[in-house]
Amino acid sequence: MRTTTISSLDFDHDVRHARRAADEGPVIITDKGEPAYVLLRHDLNCRLVGEDPTILELLAQPGGEDLDFDLPRPPSGIFRPGDLS
């Protein structure tokens, strides 16, 4: 994983470059020479903070339409028929 450092001025002028660099690893954006922000791909951020992807994110990935998953079953007796009287 490669870390890239760019100034906030360069970031403002070429966001596309920063996004491409973020595909390779974190991009540190400096303000007055000091690290101020970090640009990360969403999937990398989720791995770093330990979040599992949502079902929507999994289905949006290439090949996601072929994803198999089992829905959890609710405990028995949790649902009752509604009283419509």
For 53, the token pair is 């992807």
Nearest to 46 by CA among 32, 31, 36, 61: 61
Residues of the chain with pLDDT under 50: none
Walk me through the domains of the chain, giving residue ranges and CATH numbers. Answer: 4-62 (3.40.1620.10)
